[in-house]
Structure 1
Amino acid sequence: MTLLRKIVNTLAAESRGRGLYYTFLMFLSHAVGILRAYLNKLVYFPNIQSTIFSLESNSRIVAFSKHARITIGKFVFIRKHTSIRVDQHGELRIGDKVFINDSCHINCAHRISIGKMTKIAPHVSINDHDHNYRHTAGDHLIRGEVIIGDNVWIGSNVVILRDTYIGDNAVIAAGSVVKGHVPANTVFLNKREKSYIPYAN
């Protein structure tokens, strides 16, 4: 009964702000996203553990190994054109109420963890491995891990590389390339310098 009351109150509040028609379209989109998420989960039922989450159009979560493990928390929202791939013995954990925007790429071959309430902007790439380009024989990957804390904001076009640890409440500035340790409650940005080079006409 409490959940039903919360849904009704949310619908009423959204209708006042957006209008009834657009609120209906938004909730219809969410309902379709939830259905799509369950269909995706059905395909990879041995690999995915989740409750209710939403997966919008042209997004997918794939597991290419019987050993791959994916845990998705409550009310995770994944927008359009996002690709999440877990391979080999990879373990991906996404906490409650994580928001992943359009056209993000998450590639997991060992361990990636994204804490609850984290928001990820469009065109973010997260990888827990590199290609082992120095050696032609043996394993072609160098594996690490990516641990992202709770309530982290990750700006557009960020690239997060293996062996990165981002503390709670951190902000990653748009366009950053992140590797290593980012302390909690800090803003991370790559130093940028403008330069102008004259050329002859």
Structure 2
Amino acid sequence: MKKRISLYVRSVLTFLRIVITKIFNIKGFHSAFIQDFSITTKISVTERGKILLKKHIHTKRNVILCAEGGTLEIGEGCFFNNGCMAVAKERITIGNRAAFGPNVLIYDHDHDISSAESIHDSGYKTSPVVIGDDVWIGANTVILRGTVIGRDCVVGAGSVLKGVYPAGSVIVQKRTENIYEKGRVSG
């Protein structure tokens, strides 16, 4: 009974959040009303960005979905675990039923440090990110601009991705083992 009441309260709060976000971002925010967002999920649309959310998206605590001038499109039935963040300055497209472990970061931009004296004045280089249907991304993964992950891929925890990964791939980056002895590191 207590769990049912909690689910009801969270559903009402999610509905209210979607309505309020829509009121303040009439042109830049489109969402199905059937969502399950944590109360700490942050949705931000700035600089004429757009966020497009299909139905049945589930977020845990401290998830950030941000369109800073770009478009963030998330498919039906996606799951974002604690601490995930997606920031779109150009375009991030996530397919249906994608699942993200804790602390997954998705960026479609990098600082363009080649032409500036200071990182604060650098501007950005952007390239779209595309994540296919039924993709599973492990914890602490960083997905960088220009990345395409095909449908049915599995990404191992702690990966840093940039490039094109074909459908059905299992992506695990090589790790080295560190052994700590008397203040020294060897591997």
Structure 1 gap segments, 5+ residues each: 1-19
AA partner of residue 52 (structure 2):
T
1:75 is displaced (CA, Å) by 1.4
Which position in structure 2 is the counterpart of 1:70?
51
Work out which of the residue numbers 32, 44, 48 in structure 1 matches 2:13. 32
Residue in structure 1 matched with residue 38 of structure 2 by the alignment:
56
Distance 1:40 1:54, change over 3 A: farther
| Equivalent in the alignment of 1:13 | none
**2:94 matched residue in structure 1:** 114
Give the match's secondary structure for 1:54. coil
Which of 174, 178, 182 is the matching residue for 1:191?
A: 174
Pairing partner for 2:132 from 117, 125, 149? 149
Larger Rg: 1
Deviation of the 1:82 alpha carbon: 1.3
Deviations 1:38-80 (A, max 9, x none): 22222212201122223321222111112x1221111112222
TM-score of the superposition, structure 1-length normalised? 0.82
2:115 equivalent among 120, 125, 135 = 135
Q: Which shows bigger deviation, 72-81 or 27-36?
A: 27-36
Aligned residues: percent identity? 29
Question: Structure 1 runs of 4+ off > 3 angstroms?
Answer: 197-201
Aligned to 1:175: 158
Q: Which runs of 5+ in 2 are unaligned?
A: none
Give the secondary structure class of the aligned counterpart of 1:86: strand
The structure with the greater share of residues assigned to helix is 1
Pair 1:82–1:200, CA change in 2 (3 A): closer
